[in-house]
Amino acid sequence: MKNFFLLLILFLSGFSCHPSKNNATIKTSNTKMTPDQNLKQIVFGGGCFWCVESCFNQLNGVEKAVSGYSGGHQPHPTYQEVCTGETGHAEVVQITYHPDLISYKQLLEVFFFLHDPTQLNRQGDDIGTQYRSVIFYQNETEKKEAQEAINALDQSGRYPTRVVTEIAPFEVFWPAEEYHQGYYWENPDTPYCSAVVGPKIQKFIRHFEAKGWLKKAYQP
């Protein structure tokens, strides 16, 4: 469904859905540490990355959140290739954060708030393994805390069915094409963004603003 809206929007606006050669795919490393050793990174997949990225970027303690792909077998995947479901990648967001300002457990709380982790290989009308719920851990502590968070959700009775979020070791993150970065803020009035992404973001803002977790002045 999201793919249809994106193709329709880009067609009607006169632009190709394929990015130029300069930004079609962006190479990245699979290093597990950022240059600043005081920062940490985690990669989450929770359905459409437009929504997940825009929300995590508003959190106090998050340096940046970048939309991309992870968990697949094909190097340098494009959006169109990932949308086929044949590359094995999930739409994900790589979050770089200050652990002294926001904890991994808090990030997990936000992650589970933003999507339904009981839906297997889909989020609403976005269907396919590329929309799967997944946590890519970088060490055993993260793996353990992710499993504990899932166990707590299952025991809470919050959902009528069990959580199906995948917990997988991190291998490599491929940033998505440039036009995906900050996509919602550039295109809030497109059909998919106004009908699906916007309401989720407003729900997120209401909830986490009340908890005092949001940046005081966020500029996308």
Q: How far apart are CA 112 and CA 116, in angstroms?
A: 7
DSSP state of 195: I
Cβ contacts of 196 within 8 Å, gap of 6 or more: 2, 48, 51, 124
Catalytic residue among 48, 55, 83, 193: 48
**Cα(123)–Cα(201) distance, rounded to whole angstroms?**
15
Cα gap 56→157, rounded to integer Å: 26
48 is catalytic: yes
Q: CA 45, CA 187: separation in Å to the nearest integer?
A: 21
Among all residues, which ones are annotated catalytic?
A: 48
